[in-house]
A and B are shown apart, each in its own frame.
Chain A
Amino acid sequence: MPTDFDRQLDRAIRSMLDVDPPRALRARVLASLEQPGRRTVSFARWAAVAAAAAVALGALIAAPWHTAAPPIVSSAQVHDVPLPASVTPALPRVFAAIPAASRPSSQRGAVHAAVLAANDVPAESGVTALERPAALSVTTIAPPVTSTLPSIQPAPLRVSALELPALEMPPDAARGADR
């Protein structure tokens, strides 16, 4: 026997499904059968939308969000910036770091000139290249002066004879020795 709950539940279910289909359903179905391309177009449209969404999602994921965007500068600001008359890039100061002793003497003058040019030393500073050093002359080496010493004659050893005093034994010690 159905309870009140059962009746209420059946009523709720029927109420949820108590909707009649449209009378035009037959016409719609027959129209679809006559134009089979319509569903295909609809599917193609959905497929295109899905593909576009996938591409957009992929681009969103692959976008380099971690790199900072360059600053936006208007064209007016660009023209307002004064430019230098001439810009000469500085040469690297390489030669100054090389110790002079490690370079051949024949190149020292040229090296010095190059260092001056690299360091942008102005010509009116009065610094000129060093003169070439004079060649070294080596003389013969003289032997050292030595002096002759007389031979050493050792003196003969003289040892004097030791003189020991005579021992004297006490009378008590002499008796004990007799026993």
Chain B
Amino acid sequence: MDVRPSKDRVNALDAVEPGDLTLVRRAQAGDAAAFGELVDLHRRSVFRAALAAVGSPAEAEDVAQDAFVTAFQKLGTFRGDASFKTWLLAITWRKAIDRRKSVGRWLQRLAAPHRIDDERNAMDELPGPNPTQEETLIAAEMQRELKGLIASLPRKLRDALLLAGSDMYSYNEIASMLGIPIGTVKWRVSEARRVLKVKLEAKGFTNAD
């Protein structure tokens, strides 16, 4: 298979799916069904990257759809220098950032301020089996606080932390999406964790370690 993987590959997530290139070639030849297969293969990673950026499932769905349409329109420019997933995620992130900055989104948030983290209740954050009642309450409270603190992080730190913490993207893919070196991605993730830990301890969670 004529695929040249990136030199900066850091883990198995960067492995180029051999089926991708075949599907891409077929889609480039005008096979819409082949592009449909690509959509099915990558819809979850595309959707969650968009969700990490915009925070709302409804908006993430719009961003994902936009990204796939744009990818299809620009499929002729894809030469296989990077994996199709990396190329697709870069498009998705640009679309998501455009959406995040758009005036229309600001208006929509005014009309419907509900976001995904608001729709969950404390029962979703219950710890593993056989916890004591106190452990359950503390864990649920800690999860609630952590989500609020993550949302309050600076965007650069929050983007890197969410993408890295989702376990769906390699550092190489994150670096490609954000347009920064891998070292910077790692620093931002580490800094975000440090800031969160300090803030969490300041809120009284002294046994954060």
B147 and A12 form a contact (CB under 8 A): yes
Using a CB-CB cutoff of 8 Å, which residues 1-42 of chain A contact chain B? 3-6, 8-17, 19-22, 25-26, 28-30, 32-34, 39
B150 and A15 form a contact (CB under 8 A): no
B209 and A5 form a contact (CB under 8 A): yes
Q: How many of B's residues come within 8 Å of A, CB to CB? A: 46
- How many residue pairs, one in A and one in B, have C-beta atoms under 8 Å apart? 102
What are 6 A-B contacts with C-beta separation under 8 Å? A12-B125, A12-B150, A13-B166, A21-B60, A22-B61, A29-B65
B39 and A26 form a contact (CB under 8 A): yes
Across the A-B interface, give the 9 residue pairs with the lowest CB-CB distance, nearest first: A13-B165, A21-B47, A12-B146, A5-B208, A29-B68, A26-B39, A3-B209, A21-B43, A17-B166
Using a CB-CB cutoff of 8 Å, which residues 110-158 of chain A contact chain B? none
Dominant SS among interface residues on chain A: helix
A33 and B72 form a contact (CB under 8 A): yes
Q: Quick one: given A13-B162, A33-B35, are A8 and B146 in contact (CB under 8 Å)?
A: yes
CA A17 to CA B64, docked complex, whole Å: 14
Is B99's beta carbon under 8 Å from chain A?
Answer: no
Chain B residues within an 8 Å CB radius of A50: 103
Chain A residues within an 8 Å CB radius of B134: none
CA A39 to CA B68, docked complex, whole Å: 13
Q: Find the B residue at minimum CB distance from A53.
A: B103
